[in-house]
Amino acid sequence: MLIPPHLLPSNGRFGSGPAKVRPAALSYLASRSDILGTSHRKPPVRELIGRVQSMLAELYDLPDGYEVVLGNGGASLVWDMATFSLVEEKSSHGVFGEFSRKFAAAAKGSPFLADPDIVEAPAGTVALPKVGDADTYAWAHNETSTGVIAKVERLGEGLMLVDGTSAAGGTTLDVGETDLYYFSPQKNFSSDGGVWLAFASPAAIERAAKVEESGRYVPQILNFNAALSNSRKQQTLNTPSIATMLLMESQLRWMLDLGGLEAVAKRCRRSSNILYRWAEAHTFAAPFVQKAEDRSPVIATIDLDASIDATYLISVLRDNGILDVDPYRSLGRNQLRIGCYASVDPEDIEALTDCLNYVVERL
């Protein structure tokens, strides 16, 4: 089935993983051949890292004492890094999707930590950690797998570790309510993956030093103190992707020029609201997340009636250049999952709904 060209979005990238990269960012990357292929220990690359750190601090208005830390391996590595470097004895987890579940599993599998407290909620709802005797509390700001957003606020006396991977750069946040807010840059920051970045509080920095002093064996790649030491010198432990940092620099400059985090969050919410309203206006579709306050502003999950084969619908869209609107693989629902990240134009979301109407009417 061919969708008429006049209905198609200008850019068909709507993935919830790697996201659309703005053409201006790609042009900037191409213009910086002077820095690509050069040493990450020398001033040009270190100054680039420093600019990314400074712009992130500005975008989030970081509280005094907080530092921007980064390293290689992506946000998934942070789960293991936290079990080695940040959890002292016991953690407590809120699990409401695949990614929050993976952090809980890492803590449960650790041979030197007590079994974690785990509060789990069905997909499409929110679970926050149980407040008790844990020294570390962990949950996701936005569950990429289900399209659910959670509150970010202090729950107890321990460290607050919040996975911000799909929320960072797309929704507002009081960083002071967290001790480690960590994320990868391939979503709202429209870069490539393989890097993690984090906002670390003085308490998190102090905890990591305390754990290291205890004599616990910590591999260098999972050593938060090593990442912190290198980040303070605008470096990483091992060679970073310079191209990723250049893309992120361009995206951060665009975000700040747009008006900062509030303006970007408004743009993302506009896009996701278009989809939620579209779903509510049709009998064959419905928002997967039933409570409106729990619906993500950056990942819209839309359930389809059993009379519509989502797999076939997605294949038709792909044949027409509309990409990566598949549901999360293990969720097993007849569903669309659409990334409404910062770089996605709301007008393209409108065009997507027109394309959906066109295809569904002809099934």
Q: Where are the beta strands (DSSP E) in 187-268?
A: 195-200
Comparing CA positions, the residue from 153, 144, 204 lying closest to residue 176 is 153
| Boundary residue ending a domain (206, 224, 256) | 256
The band of 330, judged by pLDDT with boundaries at 50, 70 and 90, is confident
User: Same domain for 178 and 309?
Assistant: no
Asked if 272 and 297 touch (Cβ cutoff 8 Å), the reply is yes
Q: Are 277 and 169 found together in one domain?
A: no
- Verify that 15 and 76 share a domain, yes or no: no
Same domain for 188 and 94, yes or no, is yes
CA distances from residue 325 to 15, 16, 61, 209, 333 in whole angstroms, order as listed: 6, 8, 33, 43, 13
Could you tell me if 30 and 168 lie in one domain?
A: yes
For 142-163, what is each residue's pLDDT tens digit?
999 999 999 999 998 999 999 9
Q: pLDDT (tens digit, 9 = 90+) per residue, 206-239?
A: 999 999 999 999 999 999 999 999 999 999 999 9
Strand-pairing partners, residue 91, are 136
Looking at the structure, tell me whether residues 183 and 112 fall in a common domain: yes
CATH code for the domain of 122: 3.40.640.10
Q: Does residue 340 share a domain with residue 230? A: no
Q: Is residue 183, in this structure, part of any structural domain at all?
A: yes
On whether the pTM is more than 0.75, the answer is yes
> Is the predicted pLDDT of residue 329 greater than 90, yes or no?
no
Say whether both 296 and 233 belong to one domain. no
Query: Which neighbouring-strand residues pair with 136?
Result: 91, 159
Backbone φ/ψ region at 41: left (φ over 0), alpha (ψ -120 to 50), beta? alpha
> Integer distance in angstroms from the first to the last C-alpha of the chain?
10
State the residue range of the domain holding 176. Answer: 23-256
Which of 195, 225, 256 finishes a domain? 256
On whether both 196 and 281 belong to a single domain, the answer is no
Tens digits of residue pLDDT in 13-24: 999 989 999 999
